[in-house]
Amino acid sequence: MPSAALEVPADIEAFTADALARGWGDGLPLIPPTPERVTRFLGGADPDDVIATLPPSGAPCTMEKLAINAVMAGAPAAALPLLRASIEAMAIEDFDLHALNATTGSVVPAMLVNGPIRHQLGIPFGAGCLGGVAGSAPTIGRAVRLVMRNVGGQRIGTTSQSVFGTPGRVTGIVFGEWEERSPWAPLAERRGVSGDAVTVYGAMGTANICDLVADNGPDLLELIGKSCAYPGANGFLTSSAFSEMLVCINPVWAEIIARDIPEADEVRRLLWDHAALPVDWWPPAYHPSLNAHGRVGHDGRVHLVQDEEAMLFCVAGGLGNLHAAALHSWGATLSQTVAIP
């Protein structure tokens, strides 16, 4: 069924104010989604095609609804296949979008893009890739966020209980992997999807990891892994049956690491092994629960993520060296990797 047509102001400032009053906006300027703009964005796609049903509203997200929100966000029409694939990935049951949208946490679906489409859309994968690069990524992420708001019905303080939120809940987190500088296969390929693909991951935000000393693979992986583990990270909550971790390694560090540790599986294993803390880092009151849930290993350590396969990593970021980025997960979502048609 086509979306209901409403008469709204054509002027951007007036439309933005009107949309905000109706609960459609996010506070940033919105482009009026005129029929001409929406039709142009769809480019011949069936407007009534249902991509997925989105929680918490349970409303169907049609191609037309996706296009309307993408036009308002200022996203390029060429991004339609990426946007559709991302919505489909988020709607997969194991991603648990309903809980993600409702939680008290600050989680937002991050979109990590692989394949040639990175170049076609100008998805950043070098310096500043997690925010600050002028281009289409913020508009693509914002389009998804508006879909979550206007189709999924996510509202802070009502359907969403997020205590702090994150800037990513406005413009999303959209970046690519610097495949051309990676000594390992791309993340999506390692997860079974080659070529153009998007991995949707429930990220609590980004955290910087910095080092000035390490000059070899084992030391860098130890530093990165240990930096991911802190007692208040969601992965350590015994209320979560599982959790994930995503690490972005800059190309300079990746080259250093690969000289010593050429296999991606071993890189993942070492990151997982180092991302752990001795149980006595928690006050004694926490120990019974950690033990009861099998979180304390035979060596007295608690791993941030229970399974080493849940330790994800990619190569991205600038050539300034010195830094890695950690994207902690919320804990109840399983990241999904799907092909972009």
Q: What gap in Å lies between CA 314 and CA 254, rounded to an integer?
A: 9
* Tally of domains in the chain: 1
Domain containing residue 182: 12-339
> Nearest-CA neighbor of 108 among 57, 51, 72, 148?
148
Q: Name the phi and psi angles at 184, rounded to 5.
A: -120, 165
Q: Please give the DSSP secondary-structure letter assigned to residue 41.
A: H
pLDDT tens string 304-336 = 999 999 999 999 999 987 899 999 998 888 999
Mean pLDDT, rounded, of the chain: 95
Helix/strand/coil for 268: helix
Percent of the chain at pLDDT > 70 equals 99
> Residue 5 falls within a domain, yes or no?
no
> Residue 7 falls within a domain, yes or no?
no
> Residue 102 falls within a domain, yes or no?
yes
Q: pLDDT grade, residue 3 (50/70/90)?
A: low
> Residue 321 falls within a domain, yes or no?
yes
Q: What gap in Å lies between CA 68 and CA 32, rounded to an integer?
A: 9
Place of tokens 């946007």: 83
Give pTM, 2 decimals. Answer: 0.95
Evaluate if residue 1 carries a pLDDT over 60. no
> Residue 195 falls within a domain, yes or no?
yes
Beta bridge partners of 209: 324
Amino acid at 47: P
> Residue 2 falls within a domain, yes or no?
no
**pLDDT value of residue 115:** 98
Question: What are the tokens at 21?
Answer: 């009053």
pLDDT tens string 79-137 = 999 999 999 999 999 999 999 888 888 899 999 999 999 999 999 999 999 999 999 99
- Least reliable range by pLDDT among 85-89, 139-143, 166-170, 175-179: 166-170
Evaluate if residue 2 carries a pLDDT over 70. no
Q: Which strands make up the sheet holding 108-114, listed edge to edge?
A: 173-176, 108-114, 197-203, 336-339
> Residue 4 falls within a domain, yes or no?
no
Q: What gap in Å lies between CA 331 and CA 246, rounded to an integer?
A: 12
> Residue 6 falls within a domain, yes or no?
no
The pairing of strands 108-114 and 173-176 is: parallel
